[in-house]
């Protein structure tokens, strides 16, 4: 029987608290204000830094010459060929 009384008391208390939403909101706000101090004002964000018109000294652009691009492509082809298994002819011999 004590369980029924506890449930009834709990239900009655919940109904009492929820009966006045403005009071519940005021109590909630008071609890939050008492436990959490106000946040300090935020500093204004810094404006973005301007982008320099040219590269800083010491940094040079690498230009792609036709010789360099063909060397790079040739190296890529060699690497790709080196990683693949050898081709096998119909007679079973490896094709070069």
Does residue 71 contact residue 78 with C-beta atoms inside 8 Å? no
95 neighbors 89 (Cβ within 8 angstroms): yes
Check residue 71 and give its pLDDT: 72
pLDDT, position 17: 82
Per-residue pLDDT tens for 31-86? 999 998 887 887 888 888 887 777 666 566 666 666 667 776 666 666 554 566 66
Cα dihedral across residues 59, 61, 67, 73: positive or negative: positive
Between 12 and 66, the more confident residue is 12
Residues in the chain, overall count: 96
In this predicted structure, what is the pLDDT of residue 57? 63
Question: What's the pTM?
Answer: 0.32
Q: 24 near 17, Cβ under 8 Å? A: yes
Residue 28 reports pLDDT greater than 70: yes
Residue 52 has a pLDDT of 72
Q: Which residues pair with 95 in a beta bridge?
A: 87
Return all residues near 95 (Cβ < 8 A) that are at least 6 apart.
86, 87, 88, 89
Q: Where are the beta strands (DSSP E) in the chain?
A: 87-88, 94-95
Query: Distance between CA 44 and CA 86 in Å, rounded?
Result: 64
């Amino acid at each position: 029987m004590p369980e029924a009384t506890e449930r009834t008391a709990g239900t009655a208390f919940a109904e009492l608290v929820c009966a006045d939403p403005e009071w519940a909101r005021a109590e909630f706000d008071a609890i939050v204000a008492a436990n959490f101090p106000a946040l300090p004002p935020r500093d204004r964000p810094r404006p973005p830094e301007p982008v320099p018109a040219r590269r800083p000294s010491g940094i040079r652009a690498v230009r792609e010459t036709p010789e360099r691009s063909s060397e790079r492509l040739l190296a890529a082809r060699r690497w790709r060929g080196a990683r693949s298994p050898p081709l096998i002819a119909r007679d079973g011999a490896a094709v070069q």
